[in-house]
Structures are given as C-alpha cells and as structure tokens.
Amino acid sequence: MLFHFCAATPPLFVLWIIMAQVAGQEDREKTTALKDLLSRIDLDELMKKDEPPFAFPKTLEEFEYAFNEYGQLRHIKTGEPFVFNAREDLHRWNQKRYEALGEIITQYVYELLEKKCNMTKETLPVDATEDEPTGFIYLSPDALSNPSKLLVLIQGSGVVRAGQWARRLIINQDLNSGTQIPFIERAMQEGYGVMVLNPNENYLEVEKSTKSPLPSPTETSDEPAEKRERKDDKEGKKKKEFYEKYRNPQRETETERIPIRENGSSEEHVLYVWDHFVSRAAAKNVFIMAHSYGGLSFVELMNQRESEVKNKVCAVALTDSAHNIWLQETTKSTQDWMQEHCRNWVSSPEPLDTTLEPMMPDCPRVSAEDRAALVVLQTTCHLPGLSLTSSPVATCHTSFT
C-alpha cells in the first residue's frame, strides 16, 4: 500500500513529508531535553543573587560622603557626586541604600536648622504623653513673639521632612536647591519670625509582632478537617515562599504605622499648627509659602478657619500648588480672597513672573521659569488687600522636584 502511494507520489512531496517528520521528531527531542534540563536546575541556587544585606552606614562619614563648601554632596575620597547604582543589577539594594542616605540627610538638615539657623524644636501634640507618638515643628527664637512679621513654610508631600523641599536635589545638586535654609536665613535678615512645618511627620513606624495568632476556639477537631488544614497551610506556605523568593530574595522587616494624634495627615498637621501656634503668634502679619501638596493643605486650612486666616494672613506664595478649589469645595468668598492675596508660581518655559492662563478662578498663576520657585516677602505689611506685586524685600530662588 505504502509502495503504491510512494510510486504515485511526486518525489519532492515525499521528501517534504520525510523532512517534516524529522523536524517534528527534533522538536520533540528538544522539548524533552529542555524539560530534563529544567528539572535538574536547583531553583534555590539559581535565585541566590549576590544581594548584600540591608545594613547601611548611619552617618555621612561612614557613607564616605560630605557636603563641600558649596553645599554639594561629594565622595570624601574621589570628590565625585553621589552614585545611585553602586551595585549593578541590584536596583532594590541601591534603592535601599539611597533611602538610608536620605534618612541621614534628614538628620543633617535638622542640625542645620538648630545650629545654623538657631531654631528650636517644638513637640506635637503640645500635650503629648510620654508613651504616645509625637512629631515636631521648628521655630525661630522670635516666631511667637515677633510683633510684626511671621513667615510660615509648608513643604510638599513625600519623604521630605522639616527644612527640606526635595531630597533628590539635596543629594544630586546642593543644599541651597533642596532645603529651606536660604529662605529662612533671608527672612531672618529681613526681620521675620519663621515657622517651619513638618506635614509629613504623621506616624510612628514600629516592627510588627511575630507572634503567631492563637487558634480559633471554633475550629473543629475531626481528623479529615485537620488534614485538609495542614495540607492547605503547607501548600499556601510553599506558594508564599516561592513568590517571596522571586519577588523579595531578601525578606524585609514588616512594620505598622501608629498615627500621631491630630497630626495624622498634612491637612491635620497644618490645621493643628495654626490652632496652637500661628493663631497665637504676636505677629500682626503672617506670610505663608506652600509648595505642591502644602498648597492643598493651606486651602483646606482656609476651608476650616476662613475668617481667622483672612484676619491674620497678608500674602501666600504657592509653588506648583496641588490644591483644587472645586474638589475641596472652596467657598466663593475664599476664592475671591485668594485672587487678592495668593499667587501660584508654576513650572513653565516662560520667563520668570510671566502671567499664565488661569486654570481655576482662585489665584493668579505666573511662570516659575525652569522650575525656579519664587517667594516674595513684602516691605510694608497691611491688612487684607495687600498686593503681592508690591516691592519685595526678599527674593529667593530654588528648584524643586
């Protein structure tokens, strides 16, 4: 039968059939060989990457970095800027290293506020007990007693803490670009009291307890159920370990956050500081600078304390503000007040202070020219109605992220 088929079949067609059969056999052999190879690979060994432990230096000196005379972070030995990719192909470890350096930078800025700017730390809440989480703000010596002028600085969201605008700029550019120090020093020179808020210090982070939960009193004790539970637990543990091995080769400490009373968010923090500090300050004229989410928190303060803010605040400089008068349900009277007393410097290629199209009917928008933020402090402070265009006594430029 096969002979007759082959005799009647063109030779080229027969050759094609034979080649297809050979190719199919080769594919099956390759697949089998690949399966055999994979079965012999030790996945545990395969996943043992050379990721160092998450144990990083606690000081700049141990990191072998220091700020030079220009406020730039440089390597002590090479003089080179900070390098993020210290280890190739270990992005997670590099990120953890960067975050560890960031925590050291935070403490370094606190030292600058205290030693260079002569500011003091005030604990929040003001009536905190010894065993509850606390936050803090910084005050200049005359922040509460200055009878004339008070400048309040509110940063944006994220990892930045009191005295910082942007951690990335502190590390990659210089202290003048990423901290509030130039604003504070210039304001003090011009006779302002200064208050530095800390809206991202909202919680105490503690390690989670590793104790296993007690078995439920409602568990059934019949053997089949126990066998099923043990099997489910075993399978679940295997899946979790397998997943963790690929996603997280080096397990991190699990933590939980305990909120700081009445300061659990940026909005709560700004409101609390207003009630317990700004509203009680002797200054007849308060000036506020708020960056990014700090602008949203200020508008929320307006919503909560409208009449008080109008009576005490002369002018507000916003930079890339994240506020939204519609989503925040801001009143028409607040919007009108913002038109007269607020200005929002936003990222724009236009020259500095160029008037831009308004996005909302709240406050004028002007160019911050290449992400430079401008804060204007007035020479003559009046009650509501003061124009931000009057001659400034301090004009400070910096760049934000």
> What are the catalytic residues?
292
User: H-helix or E-strand containing 339?
Assistant: helix 332-341
DSSP at 64: T
Interatomic CA distance for residues 232 and 285, integer angstroms: 67
Interatomic CA distance for residues 368 and 320, integer angstroms: 9
Which has the closest alpha carbon to 261: 199, 202, 195? 202
Write phi, then psi, for 69 (nearest 5 degrees): -65, -20
Question: Dihedral of CA 163/167/168/172: which sign?
Answer: positive
Residue with tokens 């190719």: 23
Interatomic CA distance for residues 56 and 53, integer angstroms: 8
Interatomic CA distance for residues 47 and 249, integer angstroms: 7
Which token pair is 283? 């200054």
Q: Is 89 left (phi over 0), alpha (psi -120 to 50) or beta?
A: left
Using DSSP, state whether 235 is helix, strand or coil: helix
Do 79 and 66 contact (CB within 8 A), yes or no? Answer: no
Do 322 and 155 contact (CB within 8 A), yes or no? Answer: no
Do 110 and 180 contact (CB within 8 A), yes or no? Answer: no
Task: Count CA atoms within 13 Å of residue 396 on its CB side.
Answer: 25
Do 343 and 317 contact (CB within 8 A), yes or no? Answer: yes
Interatomic CA distance for residues 239 and 87, integer angstroms: 30
Q: To 10 degrees, the CA torsion angle through 115, 116, 120, 123?
A: -80
Question: In the chain, what is the greatest distance between 2 CA atoms, to the nearest angstrom?
Answer: 114
User: H-helix or E-strand containing 122?
Assistant: strand 120-124
Q: How many CB atoms lie within 10 A of CB 80?
A: 9
